[in-house]
Amino acid sequence: MFADLLKRLTAPEPARLPEPDAKLALAALLVRVARADDDYSDQEASQIDKVLAKRHGLSEVEATALRSQAESLEAEAPDTVRFTRAIKDAVAYEDRISVIEAMWHIVLADGVRDHEENTLMRLTANLLGVNDRDSNLARMRVQDRT
């Protein structure tokens, strides 16, 4: 099911993704950051659903279905470096900051920022072309809202 999307994401010069594929690819990044500490909790899954619902105007059921698909895609996706670089090339810049904010929502969902999550956030932000300062500002905005 995801083979075509993964092929397009990892092509030498990926084209912009159509909206459904972009939603799924970005949701898979949220799952990847939630799984970074090897403790993918119900709380993190619920937070992913909330972020997806708000970001894409989805119902609770639709958000849960998208997360479920994203979990499968994330499991099949290549390493974070190739996966994230491919998304950078396929997703408009203005959406990347909001992706980083969404990822911070997931990292902060369980109230604990561990080394693996921090490392993945720095790597992902960099690969998406978002500098540390902007990522930290995104984190502070998320913290202020919660």
The pLDDT tens digits of the residues spanning 97-115 come to 888 999 999 999 888 888 9
Q: Is residue 7 part of a domain?
A: no
Structural domain total, the chain: 1
* Whole-number Cα distances in Å, 142 to 101, 126, 139: 7, 19, 5
5-36: per-residue pLDDT in tens?
A: 666 666 666 566 666 777 888 898 899 999 98
Q: List, as one string, the DSSP characters of the chain.
A: --HHHHHHHTSSSPPPPPHHHHHHHHHHHHHHHHHTTS---HHHHHHHHHHHHHHHT--HHHHHHHHHHHHHHHHHS--HHHHHHHHHHHS-HHHHHHHHHHHHHHHTTTS---HHHHHHHHHHHHHTT--HHHHHHHHHHHHHH-
Q: Would residue 6 count as lying in a domain?
A: no
Is 83 within a domain? Answer: yes
CB 6 within 8 A of CB 76: yes
Residue 12 resides in a domain: no
Residue 51 lies in a domain: yes
- Per-residue confidence band for 140, with pLDDT thresholds at 50, 70 and 90: very high
Instruction: Check which CATH number belongs to the domain holding 77 and give it.
Output: 1.10.3680.10
Q: What is the pTM of this model?
A: 0.81
Q: What percent of the chain has pLDDT over 70?
A: 84
Number of CB atoms found within 10 A of residue 86's CB: 21
Contact indicator for 106, 33 with CB cutoff of 8 Å: yes
User: Is 106 inside a domain boundary?
Assistant: yes
Q: Does some domain include residue 112? A: yes
Residue 78: phi and psi, rounded to 5, are -70, -175
Domain carrying residue 43:
18-145
Q: Is residue 5 part of a domain?
A: no
